[in-house]
Amino acid sequence: PLRYISKYRPFVKHEAEKNKSKWKTMGPAKVAVPSPNDFLQKHSKEPKLAPRKKEQDGKKVLPLSVPLRTYRPVIRTKKDFINKNAVAVIKGAPKEPRPFCVDTRQGDKYPLEPSGLVPKYIKKKNYGVLPKYVTRRNEEMKREKEEYEARVLEELKKKAMKSLPDEERTNVLKALKKNWEELNHAFQGLPVLTDTRYKQMHKEELELKLKQLEHDIEALERHKGVYIAN
């Protein structure tokens, strides 16, 4: 039997040949070669400005008065800096050598001033001056002491008390010490054996007087201000 052939076969074949690209993967068969006269020149891709018009409306265009960025004006002075510097060096004081400190046997040295070996603190303006808070505290203590003494004196005046002068206080102290020496001499002269009642009472009486005198002497020596009844 004969093979079946579709009646649309020529149409499909025509459509396939019509849409097919022969150089789809390998490129076109021939490529236009550029002309040797169309080579790339320097600054050819930069934008070009229109040429400047020399005359505009019949008038000559004046050049710009703004100097260029690379312009460096030449400044001329009449001063002779070389001679001036030479005279300053000749008349100037000689430079003092910097003090150094050597700390190794090989002679390694370093500047002395920032090393910490120079006592800079004694050169301060406030060196040896009492701080402000100490001075303020001393003034407050002195003022409180004066107020306390004035208050005590006022209380004593109300109670008819008077202060003992220094000269009288010294005389009383000397008299108390003299009495203590006399009683002590008498105490040292007592017999060793106290076999009677009288001897025991006499010894106890001397001991009490000595203790009282020692107490009074200590009180006068410890307190400078003594007040007594008027």
Give the per-residue pLDDT at 133. 93
Which letter does DSSP use for residue 48 in this model?
-
What is the per-residue DSSP string for 166-194? HHHHHHHHHHHHHHHHHHHHHHHTS-S--
Write out pLDDT tens, residues 69-88.
888 887 777 788 889 999 99
Pairing of strands 59-60, 109-111: unpaired
Environment class of 32 (CB within 10 Å of its CB; exposed 0-12, middle 13-18, buried 19+): exposed
Give the per-residue pLDDT at 98. 86
153 membership: H or E segment, kind and range: helix 132-158
Q: Is the pLDDT of residue 140 over 90?
A: yes
Q: Is the pLDDT of residue 59 over 70?
A: no
- In order of 79, 90, 98, the CA distances from 95 in angstroms are 27, 12, 9
- What's the mean pLDDT when you consider all of the chain? 83
- Specify the higher pLDDT residue, 165 or 150: 150
- Domain segments of the chain: what residues? 162-228
Query: Which pTM was predicted?
Result: 0.32
Greatest mean pLDDT among 23-27, 35-39, 117-121 lies in 35-39
Give the per-residue pLDDT at 161. 67
227 membership: H or E segment, kind and range: strand 227-229
Give the per-residue pLDDT at 137. 94
Q: Is the pLDDT of residue 56 over 70?
A: no
